[in-house]
Amino acid sequence: MEFKEVEAKSILNPCGIPGIDYVINPYIGCRFACKYCYASFMGRFVGKTIYDWGEYVYAKVNAPELLNKEIKKLKNKGRGKEIFLSSVTDPYQQSEAKYKLTRQCLEILAEYGFEGVVSILTKSNMVTRDIDVFKKLKNVVVGLTVTSTDDKISHYFEKNAPAVSVRLKALKTLNENKIKTYAFIGPLLPHFVAQTDELEKLFKALAETGTKDIFIEHLNLAKYIRNRLSVEMKGEDKEVLEKFYSSQSKSYRQELEEKIKKLIKKYKMHLLLDMVIFHKEFQERHPHGQKNPKPF
């Protein structure tokens, strides 16, 4: 594991993801090391390969100082804009316990009186540490990624991230503290098509946390992700691998989406964007939406 402190050139970076204006990535790399992570391409900016993903983390130690300057350049205190933490790292990975870069950035946004939306997405229960800061922000929404209800599955795919059971508890705590939340089921793991009970368990568990809004995304098997996955899943049962690769077909997605529609209705949830995101089609619909974010 390689860790270092670096100085970034900028921190509030414009972003093309639909609905998001700026991203803050306080770290380069992500210790959570999810097998399916799309951000593994970030290695090319720091001389690493996609296979090194999860094995390096660089803390942008000057992030708060930069944000303090950059935020003041926004017109109308950022009214109508959305800042997302984070697009290519997890803002609450292990290093955040020591560096508190995410927390400091949020404090700066709160103290400045940022008028836009601050949107956070993480796989860590460390996010509950910052509830006091969320309460000072004018408009914040916090999302937890939850891909199953089985800790063994989450440990397999998201090897250094907190277990899903812990994430579900974090969602509940946020809701109890009246913080606006959402859940991100992404990627939709391929076994759900054959194991509807497991999918239902997931919706039930989410509903029990009090979260109503969900984003759902199909597995993204872009070539570089597939290449890394095939190394990460080496030695897996052939059947499991086949299921993975067939998850990109239209028929597979339709079957799953039918099941999802019913569950959303049953648990009175709200599907954000009104669709299950499929990266390939989403990209075609929003051709400017998926530019690679700059790491520095």
Contacts to ligand SF4 by CB under 6 A: 30, 32-34, 37, 39, 89-90, 123, 158, 161
For the bound state, the minimum distance from the C-beta of residue 33 to ligand SF4, rounded and expressed in Å, comes to 5
For the bound state, the minimum distance from the C-beta of residue 194 to ligand SF4, rounded and expressed in Å, comes to 24
Q: What pairing do the DSSP bridges indicate for beta strands 180-188 and 140-145?
A: parallel
Contact 131, 179 (CB under 8 A): yes
For the bound state, the minimum distance from the C-beta of residue 4 to ligand SF4, rounded and expressed in Å, comes to 18
Nearer Cβ to ligand SF4 (53/134) = 53
d(CA 44, CA 217): 25
Judging by beta carbons within 10 Å of its beta carbon (0-12, 13-18, 19+), is residue 237 exposed, middle or buried? exposed
Q: Tell me if residue 278 falls in helix, strand or coil.
A: coil
Nearer Cβ to ligand SF4 (74/125) = 125
Of the candidates 152, 226, 219, the one whose C-alpha atom is nearest the C-alpha of residue 188 is 219
Nearer Cβ to ligand SF4 (42/106) = 42
Give CA separation, 43 vs 5, 40, 85, in Å.
16, 6, 19
Contact 247, 254 (CB under 8 A): no
Nearer Cβ to ligand SF4 (92/278) = 92
For the bound state, the minimum distance from the C-beta of residue 164 to ligand SF4, rounded and expressed in Å, comes to 13
Q: In the sheet that 27-28 helps form, which strands lie side by side, from edge to edge?
A: 2-6, 56-60, 27-28
> Cβ contacts of residue 224 below 8 Å, gap of 6+?
40, 41, 50
For the bound state, the minimum distance from the C-beta of residue 40 to ligand SF4, rounded and expressed in Å, comes to 8
DSSP 34: -
Phi, psi of 20 (to 5 degrees): -115, 130
Nearer Cβ to ligand SF4 (39/66) = 39
For the bound state, the minimum distance from the C-beta of residue 92 to ligand SF4, rounded and expressed in Å, comes to 9
Nearer Cβ to ligand SF4 (114/184) = 184
